Amino acid sequence: MVQAAKISDAEAICDLVNYYAERGRMLHRSLESIYASLRDFHVCRRDGLLAGCAALTISWGDLSEIRSLAVTPEQQKRGIGRKLVAHAVAEAKPLGLKRIFTLTYEPEFFARFGFGVIDKETLPTKVWRDCLHCPKADACDEVAMILEIE
Ligand SMILES: CC(C)(COP(=O)(O)OP(=O)(O)OC[C@H]1O[C@@H](n2cnc3c(N)ncnc32)[C@H](O)[C@@H]1OP(=O)(O)O)[C@@H](O)C(=O)NCCC(=O)NCCS
């Protein structure tokens, strides 16, 4: 079951995201940034432990972003990633958001849910505020993808 994150999830979310960041599969997040955006996060738990997380962040206008989607190695391929994406889409609709984008190293995964590749340059400048602190800011190699919400 997908649930809103609690403050007690923050450290486990940070550890999970940074586990993949250290392996080049996601970008690093500080614990400070996780606390600041904790209300954007939803999680799946298994046996009381964090199994997966994702954040839906409002970017600009009707545009939002799925960030920090990660499932623990032990819990992958059990539908948790799918549930987290579906929950983010379901959360975006009643807010009136029309588009969800993501920056990812896993384009095939997001393509399964209708996300299409776009040119990063088409995203509004405001989106890049977090990139100012990224070591790859000038050489971003993530794929930008977007889902138009029906
Ligand atoms: C990508 C990730 C979130 C997928 O989570 P998951 O819980 O294993 O995914 P699910 O079990 O919900 O998979 C749903 C479907 O996508 C497929 N899938 C899973 N990972 C995939 C991948 N990397 N590429 C393509 N398809 C993938 C599954 O086979 C499944 O297909 P099916 O419905 O035909 O059976 C997980 O592998 C992960 O945390 N990876 C490391 C962090 C990361 O890359 N995050 C992505 C954002 S940058």
What's 98's domain CATH number? 3.40.630.30
Q: Which amino acid is at 74?
A: E
Average pLDDT over residues 92-120: 96
The total number of structural domains that make up the chain: 1
Q: Look at ligand 1, atom 24, and give the residue with the nearest C-alpha.
A: 109
Give the pairing type, strands 63-71 and 99-104.
Answer: parallel
Structural domain harbouring 49:
2-148
Torsion sign across C-alpha atoms 87, 150, 115, 124: negative
| pTM of structure | 0.95
pLDDT band at 150 (very low <50, low <70, confident <90, very high): confident
Using the predicted structure, report yes or no on whether residue 82 has a pLDDT greater than 80. Answer: yes
Q: Residue 81 C-alpha to ligand 1 middle, in angstroms?
A: 6
pLDDT of residue 141: 84
Average pLDDT over residues 7-34: 95
143 CB under 6 A from ligand 1?
Answer: no
Q: Look at ligand 1, atom 16, and give the residue with the nearest C-alpha.
A: 109
Using the predicted structure, report yes or no on whether residue 134 has a pLDDT greater than 80. Answer: no
Average pLDDT over residues 122-145: 78
Query: Which percentage of the chain shows pLDDT scores above 70?
Result: 97
What is the DSSP secondary structure assignment for residue 150, as one 8-state letter?
-
Nearest to 107 by CA among 146, 52, 57, 54: 146
Q: Which residue has the tokens 């794929």?
A: 143
pLDDT band at 140 (very low <50, low <70, confident <90, very high): confident
Tokens found for residue 66? 């799925």
Q: Which residue has the tokens 């939002």?
A: 64
pLDDT of residue 136: 73
